[in-house]
Amino acid sequence: MNARLLTRVALAAVLSLTAWTATAQERPNILLIMADDLGWGDVGYNGAEIRTPTIDRLAAEGVRLERYYTHPSCTPTRAAFYSGKRAVNLGMIVPIAPWEDFGLPPEEPTLPQYLKEAGYTTWLVGKWHLGHNYRDQHPLNRGYDHFYGTNSGEINYYTHALNRVPDWERNGEALDEDGYVTHLLRDEAVELIESYDSDAPWFMHLSFTAPHTPLQAPEESVQAYADIADFNRRRLAAMMTEMDSAIADVLAAVADRPDSDNTLIVFVSDNGGQLMAGSVNAPLRGNKMSLYEGGIRVPALLHWPARLEGGRSVSAVATVYDWLPTLLSLAGHPGVDDSDLAGIDLWPTIERAVEPQRDEPIVITSASPTGPRMAVIEDGWKLIRSLRPAPDTPGEFSVELFNLLDDPFETSDLAASEPERTARMLAYLATIRVAPVLGGTPPPANYDGATGPEIEPDDRPPIYPAVADSVTERPAGR
């Protein structure tokens, strides 16, 4: 048994003697709000021209994670969030396409499953994007007591359809309802919070689709940004303000509860912004899907005045796969005995500025037409390894090395001038277990995409009814 696993087992033993005696009041309610494709420069507190007063207030009163890293796209980040593991170890380095049937491996326990073990009520409101074809991929079968929203990665904000096929449900029942998606998610979250009358603590993942494409918002919100000349930026700004207003209403519902002082609020993005869709990652370099800082370093904050001294920022590295061990420690769960767990409990760092102790460097993975790309972050340095696109150099790598502490905007590649460090970090990447990559397949010949025929409401069976009778069980071997 390696030292890392021994440490986890010992931690679990200690927690099991103490944490399970905690009362529901001592264990916080947890509201984790996740924006979709939100760039570093898309929030007011990072200098954006976009009006986000609620998020800005949470940042001013809370604790900001200034070096918080995700994977550079939707599905990989969500896989890491729910499992506490690197996406590359799960084979999930590309977003799930509508025609694909893979998902978070069914044998992987999830954060809401662990929280239920600790006595929590669990709710997912919004985007799932971790599998849509089989019953065992549905949120209700992955630890959630309640699910309202979309299984896929992108839907129309008014028709609630993906490629003209509806993807909108509550607890496995397809819904045909009017409304702007951001408003509907707000209303569902408020209703759940206001009507909850159990003594058990609750966990809500409020997973907005905004500001992911399509760029749609109420026209009056778009007109309020008439001073922004860029067409896409103007619409993204309107979507952000609508989301910010929705968050304000949800927080008001939390504030009205008698246990409001015992509620932790977390706000994060799932990855960097899409520049072509009007997002801004500046001054960070890069775009969604890239391993430069703009694709993987995103806004993140925590707000809990009763426990956290506000108005602070944490400069230590934090990652999306740290949430599972961090939230489980707050929830009184005895810990996870799994040597593949990559995340660490960051609560001492967040609460008391204790320097985090990581056994291994941060590893982030993405995909490209030429094969997997990997980045390793350690001691303020980042190395990016990519397969060369040239057909005459099969299997060769292009390598970049950056000193993030001196050069956070990645302007100077130091791979040639730091050969020993480069070789050492490359050698570490060579030790990483890379699971077979799931997905990344082209659409089938009969896939008509968004050009399909209009479908009357009564004739449109949902493409993602994962617990409905029309969905098959998983075939053997899949």
- Cβ atoms of 421 and 401 closer than 8 Å: yes
- DSSP-derived letter for residue 446 is T
74 catalytically annotated: yes
Kindly report whether the peptide bond that precedes residue 214 is cis, defined as omega within 30 degrees of 0: yes
* Helices and strands, counts by H and E, the chain: 12, 16
The CB-side HSE value for 424 (13 A sphere, CA atoms) comes to 10
State residue 174 phi and psi, 5-degree precision. Answer: -65, 140
Residue 149 CA to residue 138 CA, distance in Å, equals 12
Q: Which member of 74, 132, 160, 212 is catalytic?
A: 74
Q: What is the 3-state secondary structure (H, E, C) of 341-405?
A: CCCCCCHHHHHHCCCCCCCCCEEEEECCCCCCEEEEEECCEEEEEEECCCCCCCCCEEEEEEECC
71 catalytically annotated: no
- Cβ atoms of 305 and 90 closer than 8 Å: no
Residue 431 CA to residue 336 CA, distance in Å, equals 23
Percent helix, strand, coil in the chain, to 5, is 30, 20, 50
Q: Which member of 129, 160, 212, 303 is catalytic?
A: 129
Residue 151 CA to residue 455 CA, distance in Å, equals 19
Q: Which residues carry out catalysis? A: 74, 129
